[in-house]
Structure formats: C-alpha cells, structure tokens
Chains A and B, each alone.
Chain A
Amino acid sequence: MKVSFILNGKPEKADERAGTTLFDYLRAQGLFSVKYGSDRGETGADSVLIDDKIYNSSLLLLYRLENKSVVTLEYFSSGTGIHPLQAAFINEGAIQCGYCTPGLILAAEALLKRVSAPSELEVRQALAGVYCRCTGYVKPIKAVMKYSGSEL
C-alpha cells in the first residue's frame, strides 16, 4: 500500500505490504533508535512521535500515517548538536543501558509539548508507557524535571 508522510522533517513515500507496521518500516530504513521490547506495546521501546504525540510504532500500520509527521529520536540530533533534553539525560545519569532512552526522551518531549512545567506526578504518568529495567526511573524523572525548570 502506498503512503506519503513526513519522516523526520522530510517527505517520505513508501509502498509496502498492507500488514507492515510503522516499526517494521522504520527499522528497515535504519532508524535504529526505534527498538523492540515487546509485542503488545507494553514497553514503549518502539516509541515515536506522530504530530507531537507519542505512539508505539509496532501497534500502527504504516498506511495509516498518510499526511502525518513522524519523528524518531534520530531527528533530535541531526547534525552535530544535541537537544538539551538529551543533555539533561546525560548530565543527570538518567541513561544506563540506553535501550529505553529513545522512548523515555520522546515521552518527555511529548509531555513538555503539552505542559511546560509538569509536576512530578505528570512526569511519572508521561513516562509510564516506557519501561526501563535499569534506572528505577529516579534519574530519568529528575532529568525531565530539571530540564523543564521544575526542580524536584
């Protein structure tokens, strides 16, 4: 099935089988920040932003993306610089193995697009769709709070 959408700021045209998920497509394009964690969307390792909202790419069929704008973590640091949210994750020690980091950063970004100074509870709820087995969420939460200026 044919579909046209915006992928990381650039127009993308794809023609894939009807059962192709966005996840399948992105990894095939070498966008490896989108990760496999589970099949039922529990871990959110496969997170992407679509029109600024966070979704699990493995639960979406590609053809549904028509005219939408898809962002993966790669978009945050195209070029040499990094996004200050990424810097906050590094500085706060919020990254351990790093496998869930793309999902956590996208979840934080999606939250901050809606709420500029979130409460700790709001941050927790926003990160609840992304599982992390390394950090206990302590430092990722701190990183988001620091970045948004609402210190813990």
Chain B
Amino acid sequence: MWNSIKKIIKPVTLTEAWQDKKRNSSFYSGGSYLLADKPEEIETLIDLQELLKSKIFINEDILYLGAAAELQLIMDRLKRELPEYPLIKAIQNSCPSINIRNQRSVGGEIGQNRPSSDVLVFLHAVKARLTVFKEDESSVSIRNWDGKGIITEISLPVKFKSINYQRYAVIPSAPAIVVITGVNFGDNFEFAVGGTADLIQNFQVPAAKWNNEAALSLARTAGANFKEDHLGSAEYKISLLETAFKRTGEVL
C-alpha cells in the first residue's frame, strides 16, 4: 500500500501532463523505482503510460526507443536484431531481475539518473539523444539534459568503429563499483563511467593520443567523484578506474 496516494491523473496530452506536474505529484511510467520508494510526500500520480510510446525501431543505424519501452522488451528486440550490441548486457546487468525488467521503462531509467545504472552509462557513452517535452518537444544529448521534462523518445547509434562495455561488481547481481563504456568514434575515444559515484562522467580523448598515461589521468579525474564506501577506498577506486580505462582503451 502506498498510503499517501490520493489521486491518479491520466492526462490526454503531454501539455496537459506537463501542466499537471506540481509539488506533491510525480510522473508515473513503469513505476518500479517509484513503488519501491513510495515517497510519502507524493499524493498525486500523473500516469504517463498511455501517453508515451513503447515503439522500438532501427533506421539507418539509429536505434529509436519509445520512452515507455520496457527494458525487457528492448533486450528481446536487440537479441533478435543486434545480438552483439552491448546494450543487451548493460540492461541485463543494470537490472538482473526479469520481473523488474518487464516493468521498468527506459525513460524511467534515464529519469532516475542513477550513476550506478549500466544502461545510463552506456547511453552516455554512445551520446544518445533524448526527445524531451517541457512546454514543447526538443531534442537534447543525454549528456546535456538538465533532468527536467518528460522524456518521450531516445535515439542512439548502433554502429561504431568499436565499442566496449565493462563492469566491476562484487557479484554479477550487485550494482557495479565501476561501470564503463568506451566508444571509438574514429578520431576520438569517448568514455562514460559510473558506479559508486556521484554522477556519470564523460571523457573524450583523441584516438591518436591514447596511452596508459591518459588512462591514469582519466582515472584520477573521474575518481574524484567516486565515494569511499565499504566496497573500497577512494584510492582503490582510482586504481580500479585506471585498469578499467586501460582495458577499455585496449579493446578500442
């Protein structure tokens, strides 16, 4: 029972939905995070389920995901059409429970903005673009999104010179201490790292300049935002990041 909920609103248009968003209310899509937390201050849910699309399609090497598409649906589709695409693994690891993957929408996953999300780290690395609705629709890189508005669609490239995704977790079902995705865009290597950090960080390094020193320097910069906790000291995490950067760079 989510005691504080008094009202459910089912807006017919995005404009209506956006206008309904007030204090003590929350957008409600898949709801797996929301129902887990059941925040007491929320009294009104704005149900977006019927408003958002869950269509998934690939066109000219771009993968389009309706924001309401559940993680499992995306996985299934990718397994058929792009079995090597590492987003499949990122989804599996982000959310090892198929029960939850059936419910959790990709839009919600992005909206939660959790630095430990393998999916989010992946989307950052490949420079996914979000279609976001505030007063009206606009397109923004996931890296520049301010966290406001309703995400309606996500688009991301599926072809790269090379791509590599790695994670380091105590056991496979545990959230990663460090999760990293590197993409070789030709001239540049682009990395996104997350895990037990305050935020997801993005780095760009000219491909020609990639070496072990670059990996160390990235690890130090990124490490500043990693928290010391029971899984490791800040110092350890920097060393783990260094190894992760090196290994990812090697593959690229």
Q: Is there direct touching of A and B in the complex, by C-beta distance under 8 Å?
A: yes
- Interface residues of chain A, those whose CB is within 8 Å of chain B, are 1, 17-21, 24, 39-42, 44, 47, 53-56, 58-61, 63-64, 107, 110, 125-126, 128-130
A-B CB pair tally, cutoff 8 Å: 81
Q: Inside 8 A of A125's CB, which chain B residues have their CB? A: 92, 96, 98
Query: Are the C-beta atoms of A18 and B35 separated by less than 8 Å?
Result: no
B75 nearest CB across to chain A (Å) = 10
A18–B36 CA distance with the chains assembled, in angstroms: 16
Shortest CB distance A74–B (Å): 18
- The reply on B149 being an interface residue by CB < 8 A is no
A81 to B107, CA, bound (A): 43
Which B residues between 68 and 105 are near A, CB-CB below 8 angstroms?
A: 72, 92, 96-100, 102-103
Chain B count of residues within 8 A CB distance of the other chain: 26
Most chain B C-beta atoms within 10 Å of own C-beta, residue among A20, A41, A42, A130: A41
Contact B103 A63 (CB under 8 A): no
From known contacts A41-B32, A42-B97, A125-B92, infer whether A18 and B103 are also in contact, taking CB-CB under 8 Å: no
**Interfacial chain B residues near A40, Cβ < 8 Å:** 36
Q: Is the CB of A19 within 8 A of B96?
A: no
Residues of A within 8 A of B157 (CB): none
- Between A and B, 7 residue pairs with Cβ closer than 8 Å are A18-B5, A24-B1, A54-B98, A60-B31, A60-B35, A63-B8, A130-B99
Contact A129 B96 (CB under 8 A): yes
Docked complex Cα distance between A56 and B72 (Å):
14
Q: Evaluate contact between A19 and B5: CB separation under 8 angstroms.
A: yes
Chain B window 1-39, contacts with chain A (Cβ cutoff 8 Å), 1 for yes, 0 for no: 111111110000000000000000000000110011010
Q: Are A44 and B99 in contact (CB under 8 A)?
A: yes
Residues of B in contact with A (beta carbons under 8 Å apart) = 1-8, 31-32, 35-36, 38, 45, 47, 49, 72, 92, 96-100, 102-103, 173
List A contacts of B96 (CB < 8 A). Answer: 125, 128-129
Give A107 to B38 CA distance when docked, in angstroms.
Answer: 25
Whether B8 contacts A18 by the Cβ 8 Å rule is yes
- Are the C-beta atoms of A107 and B98 separated by less than 8 Å? yes
CB distance from A82 to the nearest CB of B (A): 23
B-side contacts of A18, CB under 8 Å: 5-8, 45
Q: Give the distance to chain A from B96, nearest Cβ to Cβ, in Å.
A: 5
Residues of B within 8 A of A60 (CB): 31, 35, 103
User: Does A19 lie within 8 Å of B4, measured CB to CB?
Assistant: yes
Partner of A61, one of B6, B31, B72, B97: B31
